[in-house]
Amino acid sequence: MGDKITVPHIAKMKQRGEKISCLTAYDYSFARILDEAGVEMLLVGDSLGCVVQGSPNTLAVTLDEMIYHTRLVARARRRALVIGDMPFLSYQVSREQALQNAGRLVKEGGAEAVKLEGGVAMRGVIDAIVNIGIPVMGHVGLTPQSVNRFGGYKVQGRDQQCRENVLGDALAVEEAGAFAVVLEGMPLDLAREITERLTIPTIGIGAGAHCDGQVLVIHDMLGLFDDFTPKFVKRYADLKSTVANAVKEFIGEVKERKFPLEEHSFR
């Protein structure tokens, strides 16, 4: 296992041209596997609203729920940088509330950094959180907490005006002091332009291959969640079938009295 990954380490990776890997995690067991496998960043994403809680979007996730899941992931951390996502309405109402809530993710959840969505409009909030010593990862483009404004999960930055807005958002996030920015759901040439213009690392999801790093939702890449599968997801495993087959085998063995055997029993 290499050195502990820190925020300055992530910055250096971009300078050295090393790609950065990031995956979401929501509990101890998965976080342990991902950390031991060598992923650099563990994002406790509010995507847990969909893949853990079964909601159609992320809007109902609460700060207390994010703190709870961040704590589970932080317990497993050995090397990776743990980032806690700020849920909808935990940072948009006032700067004071944003500071309190970012602080709770660090103090109670054990996060080493927080992530929040938005660019130009969030400049002041990012700056304030960074100024109390908490590293911030920005998130621009298709920001899922704005799903109702977008009218669905739609690729952002296809027309010239929207392209300029997304670029402006990314520049604002960097200017405000964020250490990295997620680029979600945008044409790959726009993500490339942003990646070339920013000095901080860009972490892409549905933003093509030119970003400095990539993030995926763990349930998507392992084939555990198939309520909907975005085009940008690559399935690296089919754990849904693996789990279903194991469960069917267990049920069959219970019914046929093949489990438990002597070796699974106490005397």
45/110 with CB nearer ligand KIV: 45
Contact between 102 and 71 under an 8 Å Cβ cutoff? The reply is no
Shortest distance (Å) from residue 123 CB to ligand KIV = 19
Shortest distance (Å) from residue 49 CB to ligand KIV = 8
Shortest distance (Å) from residue 179 CB to ligand KIV = 15
Q: Closest residue to ligand KIV, Cβ-based?
A: 45
84/187 with CB nearer ligand KIV: 84
Find, among 247, 224, 238, the residue nearest to 26 by Cα. 224
13/42 with CB nearer ligand KIV: 42
108 annotated active-site: no
Residues that bind ligand KIV (CB under 6 A): 24, 43, 45-47, 85, 182, 184, 205, 215, 217
Catalytic residue among 108, 117, 184, 196: 184
Give the Å distances, CA to CA, from 242 to 114, 148, 205, 231, 239. 34, 35, 26, 23, 5
Count of alpha carbons within 13 angstroms of residue 58, beta-carbon side: 22
174/220 with CB nearer ligand KIV: 220
What is the phi/psi pair of residue 253, to 5°? -70, -35
Sign of the torsion formed by the C-alpha atoms of 187, 189, 195 and 198? negative
Please give the positions annotated as active site: 184
